[in-house]
Amino acid sequence: MVSTLLEILVCGLLVFGGFFALVGSWGLTRMPSLMTRLHGPTKVTTLGVGSCLIASMIFFPAFKGSWSAHELLITLFLFLTAPISANMIAKAHLHRQGRGLDPNPMDDIATGLPETGVGSGWATFEGEDSEKLDLNR
Amino acid sequence: MIATAVLFALGCVGLGMMLNLWRLLRGPTTADRVLALDTMTINAIALIVLIQIQMGSPVYFEAALLLAMVGFVGTVAYCKFVLRGDVVE
C-alpha cells in the first residue's frame, strides 16, 4: 500500500519535472528577446530539475534501500545559483546593448534604457566610466 | 510504472537539450549563447539523475554535483569575460 503510494508520488514528480524542463527549454527557443528568454531557464527549468531530484531522493530510500544527502545538496546549490547566473547574464547583456554590440531589435533597450524614476540612473552603469560611454541617456 | 515515467522524463529532457543546442548555435547575441549553455548544463544534471533512477544505482551523484558547481562557475566566468574582457583582473 505504502509502496504503491510512493510509486505514484515518484511517477508524478518525474512527469512534472520532465514536462517543466521541456517547457523551460521551449521558452528559451520561442521567446523574442533575451530579457524574456531569461524567464524560461531560470525559473521553469530549475523547478523541473528540482522536481526530478526530489523524485530521486524519494526513490532510492524507498525502493533501493540506500540513502544519501547528495540530491538535497544539488537542489540547494541549483536554487541558490540560478538567480545569480541570471543576474550576471542580464548585466552582461545590458552592457553589450549599451555599447551597441550585437543589438537585437526585439529588445527595446537597443535604443536606450527606460527611466528609473528615482532620480539616480541604473545602478549597473554607475561605475567610473559611465560618462565616457554615454549610457545614461 | 516508474520505468515509463523515467522514459517520458528522459525524452522531455533530451528534447529540451536539442532546443537549447539550437539556441546555442543560432542565438543572435552573446548573452543568448551563454544562457543556452547554462540551461544545457542544468538539463545535463537532470539527465544524469534520470539515468541513475533507471539504472537503480546511486553512483553518479558526485558527477551531478560537480557538473552543477562547474556549470555555475563557467557561466559566471563567461559573463565576466563578456563584461570586462578578462576573467581574473
Give the pLDDT confidence score for residue B24 in this predicted structure.
93
In a domain, B79, yes or no: yes
- A24 touches A41 (CB < 8 A): yes
Summarised one tens digit per residue, pLDDT across range B22-40 is 999 987 888 899 999 999 9
**Torsion on CA atoms A50, A86, B15, A16, rounded to nearest 10:** 30
Give the pLDDT confidence score for residue B40 in this predicted structure.
94
Which 2-41 residues of chain A touch chain B by CB within 8 A?
Answer: 7-8, 10-11, 14-15, 17-19, 21-22, 24-26, 28-29, 34, 37-38, 40-41
Partner residue facing B5 (CB), from A15, A64, A101: A15
**Interface ipTM:** 0.88
Nearest CA in chain A to B40: A25
In a domain, A50, yes or no: yes
In a domain, A38, yes or no: yes
In a domain, B89, yes or no: no
In a domain, A12, yes or no: yes
Q: What is the mean pLDDT of residues B52-70?
A: 88
How does A47-76 read in b/e, with b if 16+ C-beta sit within 10 Å?
bbbbbbbbbbbebbebeeeeeeebbeebbe
Give me the number of domains chain B comprises: 1
In a domain, A32, yes or no: yes
In a domain, A36, yes or no: yes
In a domain, B20, yes or no: yes
In a domain, A9, yes or no: yes
Distance CA A5, CA A63 (A): 12
Give the pLDDT confidence score for residue A136 in this predicted structure.
47
Rg (CA), chain B: 15
In this prediction the pTM is 0.86
Give me the number of domains chain A comprises: 1
What does pLDDT average to in each consecutive run of 10 residues of chain A (137 residues)? 89 94 92 87 91 91 82 90 92 79 67 71 66 49
In a domain, A112, yes or no: no
- Could you tell me the residue range of the domain that residue B77 belongs to? 2-84
Q: Choose among A109, A101, A98, A91: nearest CA to B80.
A: A91
In a domain, B31, yes or no: yes
- Could you tell me the residue range of the domain that residue A82 belongs to? 2-107
* CB atoms B2 and A53 under 8 Å: no
The three three-digit cell numbers of residue A100, written as one number: 551597441
In a domain, A129, yes or no: no
Give the pLDDT confidence score for residue A111 in this predicted structure.
60
Give the pLDDT confidence score for residue A137 in this predicted structure.
44
Nearest CA in chain A to B62: A70
Give the pLDDT confidence score for residue A62 in this predicted structure.
86
Q: Could you give phi then psi for residue A52, rounded to 5 degrees?
A: -60, -40
Q: Where are the beta strands (DSSP E) in chain B?
A: none
